[in-house]
Amino acid sequence: MAKTSRQKILFIDDIPALCEEMVDTLRGEHLDAESNLSPLDAIPKVVQGDYDLVITGLVIAELGGFDIIRRIRGAGCRVPIIMVTGFGTEQSAIEAARLGVADYLTKPIERKELVARVRRVLVEHAPAVPERPKSLARMISGDAKMNAIFEKVKTIAPTESRVLILGETGCGKQLLAHAIHQQSKRSKEPYVEVNCAAIPANLLESELFGHEEGAFTGASKRRVGRFETAGKGTIFLDEIGELSFDLQSKLLHVLDSGKFTRVGGNNDLKSHARLVSATNRDLSKEVAQGRFRADLYYRLNVISIELPPLRERPGDIGILAQHFMNQFVTDGRQPPTFTTSAVDMMKVYPWPGNVRELQNFAEQLAVLHQGPRIEVTDLPSRIVQHALGVPHASPTESAERIPFRKAKDQFEKEYLLKVIQDANGNLAEGARLADMDRGQFYRLAKRHGLTTNSDL
């Protein structure tokens, strides 16, 4: 069955009148619902991802509600499931919670309440990424700070000014440098990248400026350097903070005079390339501490662009994760989508490796994950552990060092996270499992950073 853009609901029960009533109620509220009298017919369709929500009865002759859920989950499918029953007992409610149902309703249930609970589950398990991403060359973003940077690049790229890109490792400096070239009037000319940290210091000068035959041992013939190769295009010097003092002086000379000399040569050659550079160091601090030449810093830093780390770009987490997921699923499958709850938890994690770490994480999931959705429970332990606030000592080990309030806070956070995980990331269900008022549960979850859902 082809998927439509509306979220599709399936009701499973073997009483035709109940099916008709449920479908009429939901369709009356503009929800896309259908029913199936046979669990054995319905399960394969559910497992192949035809539905966004399953509502099931408990007592069904062909296969009971709990067995339906076990088979669906056993096939690796994490579609949210609501159980509706007229035969609810405490035990069945506990079993339903254990199996991770998104909600458990006992009859009689008012029409309005039913629709409200269904809508809530649909929202909580909806694919994330509601924002419309913006793009710049090969970069995409859904974050306001990044979109402002994209706009800045569109303004400065066509000029001749040098650009210095600052930012932590893996946050997109290289991609941004290339975008500047692509948006510039030089885009048809060469684009040359040099990673100053990857080339041994004694070879870097000849790499940049070339060398003449016999310039040093092993220089058996003349070699053209990267400045020459770049011609009238752009040369991108990555990790410029790693340049030795000697090379800093030589680069300063090129920027001041527009000329350079091959190693071992006498002739001045003209440089026409535009220079874009990047570093993950705090260059102004390097200058203050005497490790980087101030005059070179000012010449490089005509226009500076500071790329924020991923943890300061919450609007990018869901968009980039889904973007990479779509790229990495190449075997014809429909790429799984990240749910809002999963993205909320990913926003709490600090992503020390920035976009590169997110990219690797999406690649692993693309290979290993089966099923149409990525839920909180599918996230790797480092993301969940972070939400737990580990490492921390147990109260008995260090009672004298941890104030009571802090110990209580740690316990509260750990407890809430466990409950939210048991509830498959569904906060309403979490509140029910914890036997807490829903509003209080939401507020606590938010205070501990276990959700960033802004409407809580």
The binding site for ligand ATP (CB under 6 A) comprises 139-141, 167, 169-175, 238, 280, 320, 355-356, 359
Q: Closer to ligand ATP by CB, 102 or 180: give it.
A: 180
**CA-based end-to-end distance of the chain:** 35
The minimum distance between CB 198 and ligand ATP, in angstroms, equals 10
The minimum distance between CB 80 and ligand ATP, in angstroms, equals 30
The minimum distance between CB 234 and ligand ATP, in angstroms, equals 15
Q: Closer to ligand ATP by CB, 77 or 355: give it.
A: 355
The minimum distance between CB 327 and ligand ATP, in angstroms, equals 9
Alpha carbon distance 395, 410 (integer Å): 10
Q: What is the DSSP string of 33-53?
A: EEEES-HHHHHHHHHTT--SE
Q: Closer to ligand ATP by CB, 46 or 204: give it.
A: 204
The minimum distance between CB 306 and ligand ATP, in angstroms, equals 12
The minimum distance between CB 133 and ligand ATP, in angstroms, equals 9
The minimum distance between CB 292 and ligand ATP, in angstroms, equals 17
Q: Say if residues 425 and 345 touch (Cβ distance below 8 Å).
A: yes
The minimum distance between CB 351 and ligand ATP, in angstroms, equals 11
Class of residue 235 by CB neighbours under 10 A (exposed 0-12, middle 13-18, buried 19+): buried
Identity of the residue numbered 236: F
Q: Closer to ligand ATP by CB, 322 or 421: give it.
A: 322
Contacts 24+ apart (CB under 8 A), 404-413: 409/448, 412/444, 412/448, 413/387, 413/388, 413/389, 413/448, 413/450
The minimum distance between CB 309 and ligand ATP, in angstroms, equals 10
Question: 394 is written with which tokens?
Answer: 């147990």
Cβ neighbours of residue 450 closer than 8 Å, sequence gap 6 or more: 344, 345, 348, 387, 413, 416, 417, 420
Q: Say if residues 250 and 296 touch (Cβ distance below 8 Å).
A: no
Q: Closer to ligand ATP by CB, 306 or 437: give it.
A: 306
The minimum distance between CB 358 and ligand ATP, in angstroms, equals 8
Alpha carbon distance 27, 80 (integer Å): 19
Shortest Cβ contact with ligand ATP: which residue? Answer: 172
Torsional class of 322: left (φ above 0), alpha (ψ -120 to 50), beta (otherwise): alpha
Q: Closer to ligand ATP by CB, 8 or 173: give it.
A: 173
Q: In degrees rounded to 5, what are phi and psi of residue 284? A: -65, -35
SS3 276: strand
Q: Closer to ligand ATP by CB, 117 or 173: give it.
A: 173
Q: What is the DSSP string of 215-268?
A: SSTT--S-EE-HHHHHTTSEEEEETGGG--HHHHHHHHHHHHHSEE--BT----
Question: Residue 55 has what DSSP assignment?
Answer: E
Residue with tokens 């048991």: 422
Q: Closer to ligand ATP by CB, 197 or 219: give it.
A: 197
Alpha carbon distance 290, 286 (integer Å): 6
Q: Closer to ligand ATP by CB, 50 or 363: give it.
A: 363
Q: Closer to ligand ATP by CB, 187 or 359: give it.
A: 359
Helix (H) or strand (E) holding 274: strand 274-279
Q: Say if residues 344 and 374 touch (Cβ distance below 8 Å).
A: no
Q: Closer to ligand ATP by CB, 261 or 359: give it.
A: 359
The minimum distance between CB 346 and ligand ATP, in angstroms, equals 16
